[in-house]
Structure 1
Amino acid sequence: MKSQKVESTVILRCKKGKTAEFKNAVIKLVKETEKELGCELFRIFENKDNSEEFVLWEIFKNEEALEAHMQAAHTKECFALGLFEPISFIRHIEVK
Structure 2
Amino acid sequence: METITIVALLKGREGYAAQLREVLLKLAASSRSEEGCLTYVLHESRSCPEQFVLYEVWKNEAALAGHLDASHYRAYRRAAKTFIDRRDVYRLNTLSN
Q: TM-score range by the shorter chain?
A: 0.7 to 0.9
| Structure 2 spans left out of the alignment, 5+ residues | none
- What do you get for the CA RMSD once the two structures are aligned? 1.6
Question: What is the rounded CA distance, in whole Å, between the counterparts of 2:91 and 2:60 in structure 1?
Answer: 16
Shift of 1:87: 2.9
Corresponding letter in the other structure for 2:43: F
Q: How does 1:29-68 map to 2 (within 5 A)?
A: 29-68=27-66
- Per the normalisation by structure 1, the TM-score is 0.87
- Kindly indicate which of the two structures has a greater share of residues assigned to strand: 1
Show structure 1 runs of 4+ deviating over 6 A.
none
Provide Cα deviations, 1:23-72, integer angstroms capped at 9, x if missing partner. Answer: 11111111110110000011110111211111110000001100100010
Question: What is the rounded CA distance, in whole Å, between the counterparts of 1:21 and 1:5 in structure 2?
Answer: 31
**Secondary structure class of the residue paired with 1:93:** coil
- Per the normalisation by structure 2, the TM-score is 0.87
Pairs aligned (count)? 94
Percent identity over paired residues: 23
**Secondary structure class of the residue paired with 2:50:** strand
Q: 2:5, 2:93 within 8 Å by CA — same for their partners in 1?
A: yes
Partner of 1:71: 69
